[in-house]
Structure 1
Amino acid sequence: MTKTVDPDPPAARVGRPRSERSRSEVLRAASDLMREVGLRAMTTDEIAARSGVGKATIYKWWPNKYAVAVEAFLAAMDTAAADPDTGSAERDFRLALRGIMQFYRGPNGRVFAQLIGEAQSHPDIAAELRHHLMQPRREVGRAIWDRGVARGELRTDIDREIAVDLVFGPAMYRLLATDAPLDAETADAIVAAAMRGLAAV
């Protein structure tokens, strides 16, 4: 009697989903550990123990714990930036800055601050954060500026990048260098002050 051989046995069929589940567990463990003990204190051993995934497998997917941390951070949040587009540049700036400050004052904001610190000595972390998080938000600021200029609300003699820095830069400074509030009222006050120099006369 000839035995029929399954060309795609069950173990082979479920192998890839198991790997994806393991990857998700690693990212979840890293995300939890960053909030609980901080990025510096978190170790690959702890990530492996909590996720149930061996260190050898983790190092096969990521070169170090910082690479795991960046991917976990980005996976845990929506990196797409909302563009308010209300028809008013000043209102759009206020709403966008409020959203950034809300993010900064939450748990992800604290993790983000740690990643920014590590990015100073890890160029790969800096590149990932710029590409996946900062640039999408900066593009919103540029779009708001361009619409405001086109409607005649904003000055045409000011460099767009400097204008975006003036509006959104204070939030980053407050996150990293002060314990000043990161709330809606502060966002509105920053935009109001910036608009005194940016608005068309």
Structure 2
Amino acid sequence: MLLAVAVRSEQSRQAILDATMKLLDEREPGSMSLQQLSIERIAREAGVSKTTIYRWWPNKAAVVIDTFLENHILATPLREDLPAVDALREHILALAALYGGHEGRLMAQLIAEAQYDPPTLEEFKKHFWRPRRELVNRLIERAMSEGSIRSDRHPDQIAERVYAPIYFKLLFQEGSFDAESMAAGFDLALEGIAKQ
């Protein structure tokens, strides 16, 4: 009995995540912006009650962040089987490829909404930004210990130099996310952070 309840529960949770992604995907008929999205609309699309949604998430932003993370983490791995600087390069290129599509537009909307909604900003930092930053910092620390990145700066400072161009392009829609441009940008950033 408990197994059946757990399976139904996970099916409902997945239906909510799938419905949220569908509603936010501009390629789908009837899609909408993050600002237009509501818990009521997600519940209707997923075929669940609002109470079911609130069982797992405190608000719309938390649902969207979890929906985004489902795809994001799989598409942008931080590999441990490569030299750290190569893993960092691969991650940057994967992130750029992801942000060049629908997920990038969703991320831009999420960041924009977080600027005037403190609970959304806190959800974003708690569930997305801080955990990813911690993983990236560990990768940078590994690159430092391998001698491929300078060790006289804090990992946060290194991460800011490497990731800032991606978020600039994302938010201002300036420049290209193509692999060649992003690889050249990473190499330029690496000149400044490489061990002297």
Shorter-normalised TM range: 0.7 to 0.9
Q: 2:78 aligns with which of 71, 79, 82?
A: 82
TM-score between the two structures when normalised by the length of structure 2: 0.77
Residue 67 of structure 1 corresponds to: 62
How many angstroms does 1:67 deviate by? 2.9
Corresponding residue of 1:183 = 178
Cα 1:58–1:76 change in 2 (3 A) is same
1:50 aligns with 2:45: yes
**Among 116, 122, 128, the residue aligned to 2:123:** 128
Q: What value does the CA root-mean-square deviation take over the aligned residues? A: 2.9
**Structure 2 residues without counterparts, runs of 5 or longer:** 26-30
- Cα pair 2:89 2:186 within 8 Å, conserved: yes
1:18 aligned partner: 8
- Is the 2:168–2:174 Cα contact (8 Å) retained in structure 1? no
Q: Which structure has the larger Rg over C-alpha atoms? A: 1
Question: What CA distance in whole angstroms lies between the structure 2 residues aligned with 1:47 and 1:60?
Answer: 14
State the AA in 2 paired with 1:94.
R
Cα distance in 2 for partners of 1:156, 1:27 equals 40
Q: 1:23-49 deviations in whole A, cap 9, x for unaligned?
A: 332222122111121211223332232
| Counterparts in 2 of 1:158 and 1:64: CA distance versus 1, 3 Å | closer
Post-superposition offset of 1:13: 7.7
Paired letter, 2:46: S
Partner Cα distance (1:196, 1:22) in 2: 48
Counterparts in 2 of 1:72 and 1:88: CA distance versus 1, 3 Å: closer
Q: Which residue of 1 aligns with 2:28?
A: none
3-state SS of paired residue (1:120): helix
Cα drift, residue 57 of structure 1: 4.1
Larger CA deviation: 159-168 vs 19-28: 19-28
Q: Structure 1 regions of 5+ residues with no counterpart? A: 1-9
Deviations 1:117-175 (A, max 9, x none): 12223334333333443344434432343233334333333333211110111111111
- What code does the residue aligned with 1:118 have? E
Q: Residues 88-107 of structure 1: matches in 2 within 5 Å?
A: 89=85, 91-107=86-102
- TM-superposed CA distance for 1:105, in Å, is 1.4
The one-letter amino acid paired with 2:77 is: A
Alpha-carbon separation, structure 2, partners of 1:78 and 1:88 = 18
Q: 1:23 to 1:190 in 2, by over 3 A?
A: same
Deviation at 1:97, TM superposition (A): 0.9
**Aligned equivalents of 1:88, 1:58: Cα separation in 2:** 39
Give 3-state SS (helix, strand or coil) of 2:15's partner: helix
- Quote how far apart the aligned CAs of 1:194 are: 1.6
My pick for the range that moved more, 96-105 or 188-197, is 188-197
Instruction: Say if 2:189 is the partner of 1:198.
Output: no
CA distance in 2, matches of 1:29, 1:167: 34
Aligned counterpart, 2:164: 169
Aligned residues with identical type, % of pairs = 32
| Pair 1:34-2:29 in alignment | no
